[in-house]
Chain A
Amino acid sequence: MEDDLITMDDLSNAEILSLLDDAEILLPVAHGETYLPLLQGRLLANMFFEPSTRTRMSFETAMKRLGGDVVNLGDVRSSSAVKGETLYDTMRMVDGYCDIAALRHPRQGAAQYAADACSISIMNGGDGAGHHPTQTLLDLFTIRQAHGKLSGLKVALVGDLRYGRTVHSLSHALARFECELIFISPAQLSMPEEILADLALHGTKMTESEDLYGAIPEVDVIYMTRIQKERFPDEDEYAKVAGIYTLNAADLAGARAEMIVLHPLPRIEEIHPDVDSTPHARYFEQAFNGVVTRMALMCRLLGVDVPGGGA
């Protein structure tokens, strides 16, 4: 595979499946049941120029569970970025300090830009409204865990499809595994044209709709997303669509038994807490799977074989 993970296009389908296999093997390590210091002596730079809880913590947890260590950018307000340092200069410095870096940045294209500046591997942890491929890996892992396969599933992606980077990366990946996609959003938050065009080029079976509840009985996965207040130009525009889709346990009465509900978290109002106790809720397992998939990815990028794995 490539030296960096910037978009899901950096991975072939076979590489994705092999990474998920490695992640499966590493589950007891991620749970702390086994100690396997495959990355002892390795140092991860966590470069988060935007707020993050799960992504940053799961990268850190993944590295430490494998015996490695982590240095953090820390609060971006106290970093040299506020003094006007370019991303290029910051990343050249990190290139000397660490063995691998995870990057989140408000500007789209930042991860590829950093990868061009560095010799160490860069993992894109989200760049503006661009890509978030490690989220996609953990989403795919969770879907495969529940359904035993990735191909041929029917998946509804719901909410903010315009600005939500997780759904952009995930749609591309699911399309590659010949899943059928239903894009459910208000018109002003619909999937960007260029992504629909890309998916059409791959012959993806897909539909656009505003009706979440009608789709529930026919899908294998419902992928909910938060309507992101911070991506709206003003409060009024946000108010028009906030809370438009909420899932309650009662809404899932007609769902297939094996249907799963996912959410990249944090959730605000999209999923009522009463869904948590249904067999459909998988979003907390999904968040945990961020640790195990990032463990597998870091091993792969650092050239370390997972014992019994697919590398």
Chain B
Amino acid sequence: MSAGEMRRVTAINNGTVIDHVPAGAALAVLRMLGISGDRASPISLVMNVPSSKHGRKDIIKVEDRELTQDELDRLALIAPRASVAIIRSYTVAEKREVSLGEELVNIARCTFSNCITTNPREPQDHRLKVVAPDPLELRCRYCGRPQDMAELVENLI
């Protein structure tokens, strides 16, 4: 983040900064992480700011909460290039990357209406296999259908 970008939102004391979120995806990222507006500590969003790497991007700052690597990996679906800084006492204590494994487990439900996993009572994990990382291509482990990314975001768990 450049100094100019920093000025848009004040620095945080403790918490997590998620940078390089695709422009317009910040609200979906918060939903995916289960972070809602009724929490006690502040959340700051900056959307559509210029980015030297990606044209435009969103930035999210979540105060008083350190996101775990497992939580961050959930972002692979919509923000695979996000970079994450854990802040302690106004300084970057750790840097983390979103990592894409071979399968996304229980992050989203298959979008195919006749897939066995559409029965909400079926108890096994929802598994989407990563066929290609960039651009991201996913197929359901069970029915094998390729997943439409726009529809998949509606199926987040």
A residues sitting closer than 8 Å to B (CB atoms) are 7, 84, 86-88, 105-110, 112-113, 116-117, 127-131, 194
Q: Could you give 29 example pairs across A and B, Cβ below 8 Å?
A: A84-B121, A86-B123, A88-B123, A105-B116, A106-B114, A107-B114, A107-B116, A107-B118, A107-B119, A108-B143, A109-B110, A109-B116, A109-B117, A109-B140, A109-B141, A109-B143, A109-B144, A112-B141, A112-B142, A112-B143, A113-B117, A113-B142, A116-B124, A117-B124, A128-B143, A129-B114, A130-B143, A130-B144, A131-B144
Q: From the candidates A86, A108, A110, A112, name the one contacting B112 in the complex (CB within 8 A).
A: A108
- Would you call A194 and B116 a contact (CB within 8 A)? no
Assess the B122–A113 pair: CB atoms within 8 A: yes
Most B-side CB within 10 Å, residue of A87, A107, A110: A107
Interface residues on B, range: 10 to 19
Q: How far is the CA of A291 from the CA of B144 in the complex (A)?
A: 28
CA distance A109 to B124 in the complex (A): 12
Chain B positions within 8 Å of A88 at CB level: 122-124
B146 CB-CB contact with A under 8 Å: yes
Give B contacts to A, CB under 8 Å. Answer: 110, 112, 114-119, 121-124, 140-146
B115 close to A86 (CB less than 8 A): no
Identify A87's interface contact among B110, B122, B145, B146, CB under 8 A: B122
Chain A hits for B123, CB < 8 A: 86, 88
Is B124's CB under 8 angstroms from A108's CB? no
Q: How far is the CB of A118 from chain B (nearest CB, A)?
A: 11
> Which A residues are CB-close (under 8 A) to B141?
109, 112
A128–B69 CA distance with the chains assembled, in angstroms: 37
**List of 10 A-B pairs having minimum Cβ-Cβ separation, nearest first:** A109-B142, A109-B143, A108-B143, A107-B116, A109-B116, A110-B116, A113-B116, A112-B142, A113-B142, A109-B115
